[in-house]
A and B are shown apart, each in its own frame.
Chain A
Amino acid sequence: MNCFEGKAEISEFLDGELADSNSLAMKEHLKTCSDCQRLADEFLSLKFDIEQALNSIPIPLYLEERILISIHLEHKAANKQAWVTGLFLIVLGIPILALFSPILLSSLRLFNKTLSVFIHTWLTLLTIAVQPSLGLGITLMLAIIAGLGVYSLRALLKGFQADEVLS
Chain B
Amino acid sequence: MITTDLELIEQVRSGNEEAFARLVKHYTPYVYRTAFAFLHDEHESEDVAQEIFLKVYRSIQELQDILAFNAWIKRITTNSCLDRLRKQRPTPVPDHQLNQIMGKNSQKGEQLLEIKEAISQLIPEYREALILREWQGYDYQEIATLLSIPLGTVKSRIHGARVRLRKILSE
Tell me if A128 counts as interface (CB < 8 A to partner B).
no
The reply to whether the CB of B93 lies closer than 8 angstroms to some CB of chain A is no
**Nearest CB in chain A: distance from B160 CB, A:** 9
- Rounded to whole Å, the gap between the CB of A30 and the closest CB of chain B is 16
**Binding site of B, secondary structure by majority: helix, strand, loop or mixed?**
helix
Contact A53 B24 (CB under 8 A): no
A64 CA / B23 CA spacing, docked (Å): 10
B85 at the interface (CB under 8 A from A): no
B22 shortest CB reach to chain A, Å = 10
Q: Shortest CB–CB separation between residue B47 and chain A, in angstroms? A: 9
CB distance from A115 to the nearest CB of B (A): 36
Residues on A with C-beta less than 8 A from B159 are 8, 10-12
Interface residues on A, range: 35 or more
* In the bound complex, CA of A164 to CA of B83 (Å): 13
Q: Beta-carbon contacts of A38-65 to B below 8 Å, as 1s and 0s? A: 0000110011011111111101100110
Contact A162–B59 (Cβ < 8 Å): yes
Per-position contact with A for B138-154: 1 when CB-CB < 8 Å, else 0?
A: 01100000000000000
Known contacts A11-B155, A60-B42, A66-B46; A50/B134 CB under 8 A? yes
Question: For residue B33, which residues in chain A have a CB less than 8 angstroms away from its CB?
Answer: 54-55, 57, 59
Decide if B112 is an interface residue (CB 8 Å cutoff). Answer: yes
- Taking a contact as CB atoms closer than 8 A, the residue among B28, B83, B115, B169 that contacts A67 in the complex is B28
Cβ–Cβ < 8 Å partners of A12 in chain B: 140, 155, 159
CB of B54 within 8 A of CB of A74, answer yes
A contact residues around B21 at 8 Å (CB)? 64, 68
Question: Is B49 engaged at the interface, CB distance under 8 Å to the other chain?
Answer: yes
B8 located at the interface, meaning its Cβ lies under 8 Å from any Cβ of chain A in the complex: no
Query: Assuming A50-B130, A51-B134, A71-B54, is B166 touching A11 (CB within 8 A)?
Result: no
Chain B residues with CB under 8 Å of chain A are 20-21, 24-25, 28-29, 32-33, 36-37, 42, 46, 49-50, 53-55, 57-59, 62, 75-76, 79, 83, 109, 111-113, 115-116, 119, 130-131, 133-135, 139-140, 155, 158-159, 162, 165-166, 169
Some 24 contacts from A to B, beta carbons below 8 A apart, are A15-B133, A15-B140, A17-B139, A42-B166, A50-B115, A50-B119, A50-B165, A52-B115, A54-B33, A54-B36, A54-B135, A57-B33, A59-B29, A63-B46, A68-B20, A68-B21, A71-B57, A75-B57, A158-B62, A162-B62, A164-B59, A165-B62, A166-B79, A167-B83
Besides the known contacts A11-B162, A59-B28, 16 further A-B residue pairs in the complex with CB atoms under 8 A apart: A11-B159, A15-B158, A46-B162, A47-B134, A49-B112, A50-B135, A52-B115, A53-B115, A55-B33, A56-B109, A56-B112, A59-B33, A67-B24, A71-B50, A71-B57, A158-B62
